[in-house]
Structure 1
Amino acid sequence: DIPEDDRSELQDPKKSPPDSQKSNRDSTSKPHANPSPQSSPPEESKKKQSPLTPKSPPKKKKKSQKAPEGLEIVEELQRDLVVRDETIKELNLKVVEVQAQLKDALMKAEKSGNV
């Protein structure tokens, strides 16, 4: 009796590899199924986008009413950015000058043996 049980246990593992192969086949069939649902959501999103487009122009009209104030703010911010850019350029030039001075000082110190 015991050897027969052993044989049945041996047969079960033999049965399980085909099952695993079936699951592999299922998993390979699932990726094939996935592209089709993936292709359908963009179509749905296109459908969703079309109702949104009529809604967006009224929002643009509201923005256009506030545009003079917004434009003034944008212009002020752009001026501030220009000033900051100029300041950054000036500071970068100073950094280059200081780096050159440090290199000179280091070279002089090396020549005199202080380093």
Structure 2
Amino acid sequence: MIGDNIRKALEKKGITSNVLAERIGVSATYISYLLNNKRTASLETLQKIAEALNVSLSDLTVDIDFEIQQTTTVNESESTYGIDEDMKAIIEALKNASPNKKAKVLKMIELFDDEN
């Protein structure tokens, strides 16, 4: 998902992956891994990518299909996308949060993932 979002941002901005790699100080190979969803980026790297592409962190991390999900009924969302009312509330709250708050939430989620 994140790789797809980075790819779309690159295309929209007319920037190559090599230029992005140079801008944020990583190898072109690493960017390729991210674009193909073969590696995960740290929050710090995602912030650098967002800044280099002049997009928000949420543009890179939020599921692009959420707009489609909002148009479905709650039951369809739960069965098709696994989004219940609690998840919708979280996503709505994040939509209006500052980039700094979004970054903190993502860091908390990473901490929970590390525990498993």
- Shorter-chain TM-score tier: under 0.3
Larger radius of gyration: 1
Greater share of helix: 1
Higher relative contact order (CA 8 A, sep 6+): 2
Instruction: Provide the TM-score with structure 2 as the length reference.
Output: 0.17
Instruction: Provide the TM-score with structure 1 as the length reference.
Output: 0.17
